[in-house]
Amino acid sequence: MSIVSLGIVRGLMSGALGAGLATGLTMLARSALGAPAWDAGQVTTIAVFVGVFFYLGGLGAFNYWLRWIAGRPDPEHASPPRPHWARYFSFDTNHKTIGVQYMVTSLLVIIIAGILQLIDRLETAQPGMQFLSTNTYNTLMSVHGISMLAAVLIGIAGMMNYVLPLMVGAKDMAFPRLNALSYWIVPPAVILLLVSLPTGGFDTGWTGYPPLSVKAPLGMQFMILAFYIVGWSSILGGVNFLTTIFKMRAPGMSLFRMPIFVWAVVATSVLQIIFTQFVGIAFLMVLLQRLLGLTYFDPNTGKVLLFQHLFWFYSHPAVYIFVLPGLGVISEVLPVFSRKPLFGYKAVAISSLGIAGGGALVWGHHMFAAGVESWLVVPFMFTTSLVAVPTGVKIFSWLATMWMGKIWLQTPMLFAISAIAVFLIGGITGVPQGIVPVDLYLTDTYWIVGHFHATLFGGFVFPAMAAIYFWFPKVTGRLMGERLGKLHWGLMTAGFLTTYMPMFWLGLNGMRRRVADYDPAMGLGPGNVVVTVGGFLIALSMLLFFINLTVSLRRGAPAPANPWGAHTLEWQVSSPPPEENFAAPPKVVGPPYGYGAPTAVHAVLSPEDDAGRKQG
Amino acid sequence: MARKGDLQRKLRLGYVVFGVLMVIEIVEYVVGTGLRSGNWPYLGILAIVGAWPILRYFMHIQQLRKPKE
Amino acid sequence: MAIPQDRHVEDRPAINRLGLWLFILSDGFLFVVLLTTRFYMQGVQRPAEVNQPLGLAISIVLLLSSLFAYRGETAAAYGDVKRFRRNILVTIGLGALFLAGVVIEWAEGFHFFPPQSTAYGTVFFTLTGFHAFHVVTGLLALVIILLPGQQKRLQSGNHWGVEAMVKYWHFVDVAWVFIFPTLYLVS
């Protein structure tokens, strides 16, 4: 086969063509209207939108819809299964392909964003400016932040895509083509994020507050467009997940027989489809003010704080979008490796929704120091403290699940335990910030940096690693290297503690966040050296992880259908699962976590599925 | 295929809904232009009252709970 | 190996419907954000030059188009293709008339409350602009279901396409029901 027949290659060529055409036409139109032909902002924005559209066309994303419009019939799964690597580079509608695509993209973005911050950490290890300019420092730091958030959104979409339809006993997602579309708009967004580096970057941090973001260089605009595109991927994904969960569950799977991960996806998806619009519009407003001169955030005619309200109205719930699937993974892994049912299943299930609902009402706590109306401050202090309650429910349930269990310390379990500890650190260090007087002291210091990295490591990174080690045998049909995995776990946990624990101390002692330089007289140098060393430890552990991943992929021992003895549905089919998951819907007959009782069964497979499992 | 009489009945229902919407719209306009200040609570209620028939009778939101009809 | 017969029972119409409603919910929040922005930036202030009669006129035009869209969809559900085409054509005409009204509004707006220098202009042009974008996409959707390829599908009793596009059109109408008083009437 030739390389040009790959969907992604055709898509990128077509996208470049579209962007070029749009650039030319826009410049022609501008000069026809009597304006100077070149306006970097307007021309590139139009080129981006047209280019993405052309890219999707070249990829083949619209083929089905065009056939539908023409009135020609089209089978649900049009693409012939091509069981080798080429399907991962084409518009493939199978949710398992898409899940892997998302996960690999996420890991790639994590590598890039991680390297950017390592460069910055080298700079801040010592006071004084060593080798970066302040602008470069700010840009690297900002791109690191926004790229990592994109990576998390992509990563949770990966986990949810692969596992969710299997868990609920469906043959695929509700809208497979929409699902493929939601993935394929992500690569252009990643490219745009990278384009923001050579086009001047942006120095606003990931939050992009105006008025700075209105005045920032062209790179800002690419970041806005990238985030907007990832946002739409997130919204369409949420629609798809909710429909799948509510309409495609296997017979017998009542709401309270769904695995906790499915509950977490419900909560995450609701947040995604509602709140993403807020940040999308907020960033579009910045874009419109930059391009057309509208006055949303102009201090004279507009309101600067409008952006912060809209931004945090999404971005606080977004934290729960990021962590809820990870917390769901912990709830999946713990019962399997403790051989005990999940403690307080119903409470944990509801607590996901509680976190989602409560998290929607706390956005103001990001703005205590921003000069919001004073009557808003105290209510936000209370709601913020309240969110700790459903989170606490989860923590206690996890501890009670492990209590007196037959704990089996395989790599997924180790990562899950680390995740609980780290998430607890993140949660507890968050409460002081919810208290107004303390927050006024802590805001914009390294305390905050330590806090939110702990929540994201505990809520996403460690659970995602647990998920990869847990489901890798299912995805690839091979076991992952256990010794290297444990080494990865040890280094990563140690690296995390070395990096982020000193940050709390640094923050309390006056180390500001987002600064390239600090006063040597403050005595913060040694602490910063430790942080930098820790950062490289984490990078080293990731290197081990990638080695483990590639080696296991090629030479890992063949995995049985159910290496961990788990009860949920994805483990009842062969590894890797058949193209359409189940030949016939399985019958769900019991709760998902009946571990410890020898006769407990979650689901019964149809005879041909059962036969298929014994072969594979 | 359902009967022709059903179709006629449903088409007539459309007129009734439209009539109600028109009344709400006119009342809204009168309130909006007549009351010079502090009219927003009334307008808010009227907008919600006006959106409901569209959601219920034109968009059939009830189908989400009852798949048929 | 023979392809096993697909025994997954799917209620496709119900699945599609839920998906569409969730999308509409999400899209609805776009307008919630913009409406909130209007009140946050401007309170209930409104310049005197806003053309209220024109606003009322285009509101009525849009509501009328919704009525015809409803008639078209109902006819399609009963397999009355001729009536369906007639009514959807009227809907498209009324939608275009609505857009013409918006263009007049914009021309006046640029004169009286330019978006680059007044807060009201900014929110007015954003709200009507996003709404007009939805009207344009809605019109495209309505044109698509009138294409000849669609008629075969309709005659075979599958009118999901019509239902979906018409629902979207009604949603555009619902959004306007909130935008009209927000921009033209509150004070």
Place of tokens 């999400």: C26
Best interface-test mutation with A: which of C33, C117, C133 has the largest number of A CBs within 10 A? Answer: C33
Residues of C with CB under 8 A from a CB of A: 4, 6-11, 14-15, 18-19, 22-23, 25-27, 29-30, 32-34, 37, 40-41, 115-119, 121-122, 125-126, 144, 147-153, 161
Best interface-test mutation with A: which of C26, C31, C41, C42 has the largest number of A CBs within 10 A? Answer: C26
**What's the pLDDT tens digit per position in A144-164?**
999 999 999 999 999 999 999
Of all helices (H) and strands (E), which one includes residue A162? Answer: helix A134-167
Give the residue on C whose Cα is nearest the Cα of B53: C174
Contacts of A236 in chain C (CB under 8 A): 23
Contacts of C42 in chain A (CB under 8 A): none
Select the residue of C18, C117, C147 nearest A246 (Cβ to Cβ).
C18
Q: What value, to the nearest 5°, has the Cα angle with vertex A162 and ends A161 and A168?
A: 85
Those chains having 3 or more beta-carbon pairs within 8 angstroms of chain C are A, B
Q: What value, to the nearest 5°, has the Cα angle with vertex A8 and ends A7 and A10?
A: 65
Nearest to A567 by CA among A120, A176, A258, A174: A258
Contacts of C13 in chain B (CB under 8 A): 67
Whole-angstrom Cα distance, residue A204 to residue A194?
16
**What's the pLDDT tens digit per position in B24-38?**
999 999 999 888 788
A299 or A18, greater pLDDT: A18
Average pLDDT, chain C: 91
Select the residue of B21, B39, B59 nearest C186 (Cβ to Cβ).
B39
Place of tokens 């403790």: A338
Lowest model confidence (mean pLDDT) among A588-592, B41-45, C1-5: C1-5
Half-sphere exposure of A582 (CA within 13 A, CB side): 30
Count of B-C CB contacts under 8 Å: 94
Give the residue on B whose Cα is nearest the Cα of C16: B64
Q: Do C63 and B31 touch (CB under 8 A)?
A: no
Structure tokens at A311: 């931004």
Cα–Cα distances (Å) from A26 to A363, A496, A587, C47, C70, in that order, read 39, 49, 58, 34, 39
pLDDT band, very low/low/confident/very high, at A484 (cuts 50, 70, 90): very high
Nearest to C28 by CA among A517, A61, A281, A402: A281
The predicted pLDDT at position B69 comes to: 44
Q: Do C21 and B64 touch (CB under 8 A)?
A: yes
pTM to 2 decimals?
0.94
Nearest to A239 by CA among C21, C25, C22: C22
Average pLDDT, chain A: 92
Contacts of A310 in chain C (CB under 8 A): 33, 37
Nearest to C134 by CA among C90, C98, C82: C98
**What's the pLDDT tens digit per position in A195-244?**
999 998 888 989 999 989 999 999 999 999 999 999 999 999 999 999 99
In the 8-state DSSP scheme, what is residue A340?
S
The predicted pLDDT at position C168 comes to: 97
Q: Does B47 touch chain C (CB under 8 A)?
A: yes
Place of tokens 């619009």: A277
Domain spans of chain A, in order of start: 1-74, 75-584+587-604
Best interface-test mutation with B: which of C9, C15, C21, C70 has the largest number of B CBs within 10 A? Answer: C70
Give the residue on C whose Cα is nearest the Cα of B38: C187
pLDDT band, very low/low/confident/very high, at A388 (cuts 50, 70, 90): confident
In sequence order, the β-bridge partners of residue A478 are A558
CATH class of A75-584+587-604: mainly alpha
Has residue A562 got a pLDDT over 50? Answer: yes
Best interface-test mutation with A: which of C37, C38, C120 has the largest number of A CBs within 10 A? Answer: C37
**What's the pLDDT tens digit per position in A40-95?**
899 999 999 999 999 999 998 998 888 888 887 766 555 555 667 888 988 989 99
Give the residue on C whose Cα is nearest the Cα of A303: C41
The domains found in chain C, sorted by start residue, are 20-185 (1.20.120.80)
The predicted pLDDT at position C33 comes to: 95
**What's the pLDDT tens digit per position in A363-383?**
999 999 888 888 888 999 999
Nearest to A283 by CA among A343, A225, A337: A225
**What's the pLDDT tens digit per position in A280-299?**
999 999 999 999 999 999 88
